[in-house]
Amino acid sequence: MKIVVLDGYTENPGDLSWDKLAALGELTVYDRTPAALVPERIGDAEAVYTNKTPITRETLAHCPRLRYIGVLATGYNIVDCAAAREQGVTVTNIPSYGTQAVAQFAIALLLEICHHVGRHSDAVRQGRWSQCPDWCFWDYPLIELAGKVMGIIGLGRIGLATARAAAALGMRVVAFDREPCAAGRETAEYVPLDALFAESDVVVLHCPLLPETEGLICRETLAKMKDGVILINNSRGPLVVEADLAEALASGKVYAAGLDVAGTEPIPQGSPLLRAENCIITPHISWAPRESRQRLMEIAADNLKQFLGGRPVNVVNA
């Protein structure tokens, strides 16, 4: 079996091994693949892996031997799943490799907003503490989280992990999810979405990007939130209308935002969020600790192994 990885660099920039995939067939790994070269690079391969390189209906039409598409991520909107199903191509994803890493990063964004650790460290290195007439100083208000309310939109695996961390910090956690579950009730109080907006000191997005969630955070919903709310999004960039968030940051309606995703990635230099005050933006790295990428690699290989054995798992286009 010929196996092609179209964009392997972000998953494995050199600190992991592709050996488990290579054991399943003749493996070719490309660091990146321009859209124009996708059909050519897939060629007569029977299995292809992609992270963010689109596989379209047109590409599938040029690859009749293709039987399997493995997405090296949880989100799979970069694959035309309907066209794949019509062509008899199985598409799988990796739903649970980065749960703890993404939850940890959501908390890291929040704590950075609360303490501005990096900027205060820079100030010390610049000599400002040495020159200070007092024994301490701070440039930003310091925020204690205990007793405050975190509202989590999307209480799946990652949302639950974030909720447990927030509860350990002494926060009250409320949540909105289309499918409440017993595990969620143990950690959070399910509330209607408007109640979450009204009650939360911190709003955290952990929901999938769907037609009904695209643009969820916009001028209308921001108006329903507390003045001075904190927004955390390391889920999907298009959940937020960026111009509306920038406007809310400028007015003070939103005190601060911590974002690890953007509507277009990489974020364009013209994005209004790059000029917004008190807006932390990181380059989509919540998922990227070596430990979670190792899990991703192992699950990716197992997905193909199960498919070859006639027992496909994590199928998203059944």
The pair of three-digit structure tokens given for residue 144, joined into one six-digit string: 């204690």
Q: Let me know if 242 is exposed, middle or buried by CB neighbors in 10 A (0-12, 13-18, 19+).
A: buried
Q: For residues 179 and 126, is the Cβ–Cβ distance under 8 A?
A: no
Catalogue all structural domains in the chain, each as residue range(s) with its CATH number: 2-97+290-308 (3.40.50.720), 99-281 (3.40.50.720)
Q: For residues 201 and 149, is the Cβ–Cβ distance under 8 A?
A: yes
- Backbone phi and psi for residue 140, each to the nearest 5 degrees, phi listed first: -130, 155
Q: Per-residue pLDDT for the chain (318 aa), expressed as one digit of tens each? A: 999 999 999 999 999 999 999 999 999 999 999 999 999 999 999 999 999 999 999 999 999 999 999 999 998 999 999 999 999 999 999 998 999 999 999 999 999 999 999 999 999 999 999 999 999 999 999 999 999 999 999 999 999 999 999 999 999 999 999 999 999 999 999 999 999 999 999 999 999 999 999 999 999 999 999 999 999 999 999 999 999 999 999 999 999 999 999 999 999 999 999 999 899 999 999 999 999 999 999 999 999 999 999 999 999 999
Is residue 284 among the annotated active site residues?
yes
Residue carrying structure tokens 């070859």: 308
For the full predicted model, state whether its pTM sits above 0.75.
yes
The pair of three-digit structure tokens given for residue 265, joined into one six-digit string: 């990635």
Which of the residues 116, 157, 284, 295 is marked catalytic? 284
Which of the residues 186, 212, 265, 291 is marked catalytic? 265
Is residue 41 among the annotated active site residues?
no
Q: What was the pLDDT predicted at 59?
A: 98
Is residue 236 among the annotated active site residues?
yes
Q: What was the pLDDT predicted at 184?
A: 97
2 vs 16, 61, 288, 298, CA distance in Å?
21, 18, 27, 19
Which of the residues 116, 236, 293, 295 is marked catalytic? 236
Amino acid identity of residue 247, one-letter, is E
Long-range contacts, 43-47 (Cβ 8 Å, 24+): 43/2, 43/4, 44/2, 45/2, 45/3, 45/4, 46/1, 46/2, 46/3, 47/1, 47/2, 47/3, 47/4, 47/304
Q: What was the pLDDT predicted at 35?
A: 96
The pair of three-digit structure tokens given for residue 229, joined into one six-digit string: 């709310």
Q: For residues 209 and 77, is the Cβ–Cβ distance under 8 A?
A: yes
Q: What was the pLDDT predicted at 287?
A: 96
